[in-house]
Structure 1
Amino acid sequence: MNMSLTERRRFLQSSAAALALLAGASGAWAADEAPDAMIGRLSNEVLALIRSDKALQNGDIDRVISVVDSKIMPNVNFVRMTASATGPAWRRATPEQRQQLQTAFKVLLVRTYAGALKQVSDQKVEVKPLRAGADDKEVTVRTEVIGRGDPIELDYRLERTPGQGAGWKIYDLNVLGVWLVANYRSQFAEQINKSGIDGLIKALDERNQANATASADKR
């Protein structure tokens, strides 16, 4: 069955975002490594990791979450990512609500993209020239995933973090022209307007449970 243009776009977005979700799986980044060099090295290393790990290829949620927690989160400013997706309501959220939002959002992203990992085969990532100054605190690293079919645009927004754990950290990503944070911000805002922060947390939990049930039914 041929996919429609919209279905193909969603498939490509899922496949590329799955790679982005696992970018950084090689461990902590060196504080003095350039952001474009870092993204290029780590992106291609994670492709090799996926090819060698059958559990990741099969979208095993427990395995993917384990990799995300141990390898990826140290390289992502997930507080900023979640806060940006939540919007102004984040400032009104309690510490407990903020933690619940981060947990639910992480599970949503993992479950949304884990199934696309099985599509990884002979792809490679090419990093485009970085347009940034030596003193810039935030940069955008633009890449393309090269494989069968058309190249897939995959870009990262990173910030330089000081102090302990200093280095570049991802806080947003763009797949085929769609920035992840902006995409979820509109969805989250609609839910918050209807039922507040607790309503958003409940909606995310229900969606995650539905995704878990759907995954179980496919086994």
Structure 2
Amino acid sequence: MSSMMKMIAAIWLSVISMATATAAEIDRSNPYTMVEQVANKTFARFHQDFDTIQADPDHLKLIVSEELMPYIDYKYASYKVMGSHLRSTRPEQRKQFVNAFKAYLVATYAQAFTEYTNQQVKFEPARSFDGQKMIDVHVQIVEANRPPIKVQFRVRRLKDDTWKAFDLVAEGVSLLASKSKEISNLIRQNGIDSVIADLRARTDEHVVLEAKDS
């Protein structure tokens, strides 16, 4: 995993881990509420399954799959990552790439779950989003003796007027943009099938719990 991808994934999951309340249902009609509620629910699940995670770190992949991924528009993100290569692929290749990229995100976020620090997270107050198709939900991650980290969750309105996240921008660095450049180059050099195989290989790697003092 690249250092940039690791950092962005860790920030995304740090925000999730620092939420303080639980939510019975996720309100996908409000992007601001959705981000906070998903954070709450994922954090609660993490603590509920703590002993299971210690015995089997790969259990984090299940938590990410069940609590986080339903609110990420991974198909849209996958197509954006493929960029101009999308048109030259067959429908079956696109389907395989979407599935492989989704699994890659699950594995990446699961590994990032092991890198928690005791940070405070401040969500911006909700703003009007009437008529908007895409908005950024701004967050600040605050840690003692360090400047706050500025994060934006990019979310988009779907056809049914619900919202899903599709990108994370940390200190001006977009996860989607960074992966688009990397993967686009690999597709051009090695072909889509090779990239799909590479993503699957990364997905198969086990989650490794980080040492407490790392």
TM bucket (normalised to shorter chain) is 0.7 to 0.9
Kindly provide the CA deviation profile for residues 150-208 of structure 1, in whole angstroms up to 9, marking residues without a partner as x. 33332111111233xx4111111112322111010111111111122112212223334
One-letter amino acid of the structure 2 residue matched with residue 135 of structure 1: G
Partner residue in 2 for 1:191? 186
TM-score by length of 1: 0.74
Q: 1:201 aligns with which of 196, 200, 209?
A: 196
Find the counterpart in structure 1 of residue 156 from structure 2.
159
Letter in 2 for 1:153: K
Q: CA RMSD in A?
A: 3.5
Identity rate of aligned residues, in percent?
25
Question: Which residue in the other structure is 1:103 paired with?
Answer: 99
Task: After TM superposition, give the deviation of residue 131 of structure 1 in Å.
Answer: 5.4
1:178 corresponds to which of 148, 168, 173: 173
Structure 2 residue ranges without an equivalent (≥5)? none
TM-score, normalisation: structure 2: 0.76
Measure, in 2, the Cα distance between the counterparts of 1:10 and 1:68: 16
* Alignment CA distance shift 1:84-1:124 (3 Å): same
Match of 1:67 in 2: 63
Please tell me whether the aligned partners of residues 23 and 41 of structure 2 are also in contact (alpha carbons under 8 angstroms): yes
Kept in 1: contact 2:42–2:67 (CA 8 A): no
Alpha carbons of structure 1 residues 149 and 80: separation in structure 2 relative to 1, 3 Å:
farther
More helix by proportion, 1 or 2? 1
TM-aligned CA distance change 1:130 to 1:154, over 3 Å: same
What are the Cα deviations for residues 97-130 of structure 1, in whole angstroms up to 9, with x where unaligned?
Answer: 1222122222322333323323335434311245
SS at match of 1:154: strand
1:29 paired to 2:26: yes
Aligned partner letter, 2:158: T
The equivalences for 1:44-123 within 5 A come to: 44-54=40-50, 55-56=52-53, 60-61=57-58, 63-120=59-116, 122-123=118-119
- Please say which of residues 111-120 and 154-163 is displaced more in the overlay: 111-120
For 2:85 and 2:36, locate their aligned partners in 1 and report how far apart those are by CA, in whole Å.
35
Q: Give the distance between the partners of 2:145 and 2:44, measured in 1 at CA.
A: 20
Q: Distance in 2 between matches of 1:204 and 1:10?
A: 14
Contact 1:144–1:152 (CA under 8 A) maintained in structure 2: yes
Tell me, yes or no, if the aligned pair for 1:26 and 1:46 is still in contact at 8 Å. Answer: no
1:3 maps to none
* Counterpart-to-counterpart distance in 2, 1:56 and 1:26: 22
SS at match of 2:62: helix
Aligned-partner Cα distance in 2 for 1:53–1:41: 18
CA distance in structure 2 between the partners assigned to 1:145 and 1:68 by the alignment: 21
Q: 1:67 to 1:47 in 2, by over 3 A?
A: closer
Name the CA distance, whole Å, in 2 between partners of 1:31 and 1:208.
Answer: 28
Contact preservation (8 Å) 2:28, 2:34: no
CA 1:197/1:28 → structure 2, altered by over 3 Å: closer, same or farther?
Answer: farther
Counterparts in 2 of 1:197 and 1:170: CA distance versus 1, 3 Å: same
